[in-house]
Amino acid sequence: MSPNPMPPEKTSHILVLGMGGTIAGLASNPGKDPLSYKAGELGIEALLEKIQEDIPGELKLVSRQVANINSRNLTEPLLSLLGQTVMESLANTMVRGIVITHGTDTMEETGVFLQLTCGKYAQNLGKRIIITGAMLPANAPEADGPSNLLDAIRWASTPLDNCPGGVYGVMAGRACLAMDLSKRHATALNAPLQASPSSSAGLINPSWLFGVKAVQGAWSEDLPIPKGEEWPWVEILTSHAGSRPETIARWFGGGVEGLVLAGSGIGGFHDAWLTPLGEAAKQGIALVRTSRTGGGLTYPDIPEKDLAGCMASGSLSAPRARIALQLAINAAKQANLVGKSLTWQDFFARIAVLPLIG
Ligand code: ASP
């Protein structure tokens, strides 16, 4: 195995894209304090060197560093760059599958972004994109990055009859659809899969696979990847005891195009928001309702009738609903430019009905 076989374009290979994160992080005193570290310190080639002996000799890997950041600092232009890199790489007949090493903090956003922009294309081509990362830095005695990276490479390269093409996440020996990644624990080794209906990485669970196929069957067309400067400004606001109307009203006239409302319970929000949200809708600000609980579904017109134009997020958490709303607003703008009168709601409705794997 060599991370950069020459020339890569002429050899069938797995492409490994490095984005940074803890998997590429280094602690200053790893034996004593592995959680005090800097993310995004090692390059992707160095990560592959660590697992070189475990890669089957016939499997060619090509690596590319897209970024090397702490993913809490992920930007929208960087998502665009990653999405474009993935689309171009999928189109390359020499690329069998793609692995992405990524920080766990915002895997949730990247997972849903790739599903909604590249998921159908990957599925149609029968290629898998696998996102992985680590909770411990690369020089920690119990570092989880090497085994996660190996699992991801195995998943990206295993025969298709095990599992269809598409976008997945792999951590701590388990796998899920990338759009189900959701970090709901600060330190657990499987933190990004805490709220996910996940399968075992080595053994495909038939009911999980059935769920994967149901989601893929419902996702008929990828959305356009916004160019760096095209991403609409969308904020997440959380309803809580003592919520104030000003929390909504302060966004008027400042360029915000959408608000994701992380409501309490089943997605209801504080009555103090009712009047300013009505005004927001009149001003053309897109509104999506979700739940701050971290699980379950948000349904239309429950617990009360929705404000005109406001949409329920289905199974999307607030960070996922935000990416979905941004992509839906952008898709509507692109459609309008070519004379199609479609709204963000038309696009968001296709996303919010994606089934939840139970
Ligand atoms: N803050 C890190 C990051 O998201 C955490 C991790 O990778 O686990 O880059």
276-302, pLDDT tens digit by residue?
999 999 999 999 999 999 888 999 999
Q: Which atom of ligand 1 is nearest to the CA of 135?
A: 8
- Residue 37 covered by a domain: yes
Q: Which atom of ligand 1 is nearest to the CA of 107?
A: 4
Domain that holds residue 191: 13-218
CB contact at 8 A, 178 and 144: no
Ligand 1 centroid–CA 312 distance in Å is 29
CA distance 116 to 167: 10
- Which amino acid, one-letter code, is at 301? D
Task: Give strand pairing partners of 69.
Answer: 20
Please tell me whether residues 265 and 295 are part of one structural domain.
Answer: yes
- Residue 223 covered by a domain: no
From 161, 184, 218, give the residue that closes a domain.
Answer: 218
How sure is the predictor about 1, in pLDDT bands with cuts at 50, 70 and 90? very low
CATH number of domain containing 254: 3.40.50.40
- Residue 224 covered by a domain: no
* pLDDT tens, position by position, 214-267: 999 999 999 999 999 999 999 999 999 999 999 999 999 999 999 999 999 999
Ligand 1 centroid–CA 70 distance in Å is 6
Please tell me whether residues 210 and 288 are part of one structural domain.
Answer: no
Please tell me whether residues 38 and 173 are part of one structural domain.
Answer: yes
- Kindly state the tokens that stand for 247: 């929390």
Please tell me whether residues 246 and 179 are part of one structural domain.
Answer: no
Please tell me whether residues 285 and 162 are part of one structural domain.
Answer: no
Residues in the chain: 358
CATH number of domain containing 117: 3.40.50.1170
Please tell me whether residues 83 and 180 are part of one structural domain.
Answer: yes
Ligand 1 pocket mutation pick from 42, 70, 102 by most atoms within 8 angstroms of CB: 70
From 168, 188, 218, give the residue that closes a domain.
Answer: 218
Ligand 1 centroid–CA 190 distance in Å is 13
Q: Indicate if ligand 1 lies below 6 Å from the C-beta of 311.
A: no
CB contact at 8 A, 140 and 125: no
DSSP 122: H
C-alpha angle with apex 318: 312 to 320, nearest 5 degrees?
95
CA distance 207 to 105: 28
- Higher-pLDDT residue of 8, 318: 318
Task: Give strand pairing partners of 13.
Answer: 95
Check residue 2 and give its pLDDT: 42
Query: 299-337 burial, b for 16+ CB within 10 Å, e for fewer?
Result: eeeeeeebbeebbbbbbbbbbbbbbbbbbbbbbbbbbee
| Total-model pTM | 0.95
pLDDT at 200 over 60: yes
Q: Which residue's structure tokens are 């959701």?
A: 182
- Residue 1 covered by a domain: no
Please tell me whether residues 170 and 246 are part of one structural domain.
Answer: no
Please tell me whether residues 197 and 287 are part of one structural domain.
Answer: no
- Residue 8 covered by a domain: no
- Residue 227 covered by a domain: no
Please tell me whether residues 37 and 182 are part of one structural domain.
Answer: yes
Please tell me whether residues 176 and 255 are part of one structural domain.
Answer: no
From 218, 253, 274, give the residue that closes a domain.
Answer: 218
CA distance 96 to 280: 46
Domain total of the chain? 2
Long-range contact pairs involving 342-345 (C-beta distance under 8 Å, separation at least 24): 344/258, 344/286, 345/309, 345/311
- Residue 162 covered by a domain: yes
- Residue 35 covered by a domain: yes
What torsion do the CA atoms of 115, 116, 121, 125 make, to the nearest 10 degrees?
Answer: 20
Task: Determine how β-strand 286-291 pairs with β-strand 26-27.
Answer: unpaired
